[in-house]
Amino acid sequence: MKLLGGTSTVLAVISCAAGCTTPTPAPVPGSDSVRATTTLADVKGCNMLGKVIVSDTSPDAAKNARDQVASLGGNVLLRMNEQVWNGNAYQCPASAH
């Protein structure tokens, strides 16, 4: 009976190891075409869609910011400054960017 109890524990650990992984997020369609700028004039005449907040310490901060813009339906990110990827997502006409 002790053997059966040990086997159950091993199976539980193996099952969790196989099912407890963090999935890699799927790429957001259109995020490759999101343009980033720090110039307010670049978004003149565009519709602001929302705020973009990412961890600037992450090595993927630029990608994460662009993904957020694309998920909001935007194509331009107005960054707060050159060091920070946080900002506002905008939908601009194709001719504006």
Q: What domain range is 80 assigned to?
A: 28-96
Residue 1 falls within a domain, yes or no?
no
Residue 55 falls within a domain, yes or no?
yes
Residue-level pLDDT at 24: 46
CATH of the domain at 55: 3.30.110
d(CA 85, CA 60): 10
The pLDDT tens digits of the residues spanning 60-70 come to 999 999 999 99
Residue showing tokens 């957001």: 28
Contact predicate 48/89, CB 8 Å: yes
d(CA 76, CA 43): 8
Residue 56 falls within a domain, yes or no?
yes
Q: What pLDDT tens digit does each residue of the chain (97 aa) get?
A: 555 555 554 445 444 445 554 444 555 666 789 999 999 999 999 999 999 999 988 899 999 999 999 999 999 999 999 999 999 999 999 854 4
Residue-level pLDDT at 57: 87
Q: How many residues does the chain have?
A: 97
d(CA 47, CA 20): 40
d(CA 77, CA 53): 11
- How many domains in the chain? 1
Residue 14 falls within a domain, yes or no?
no
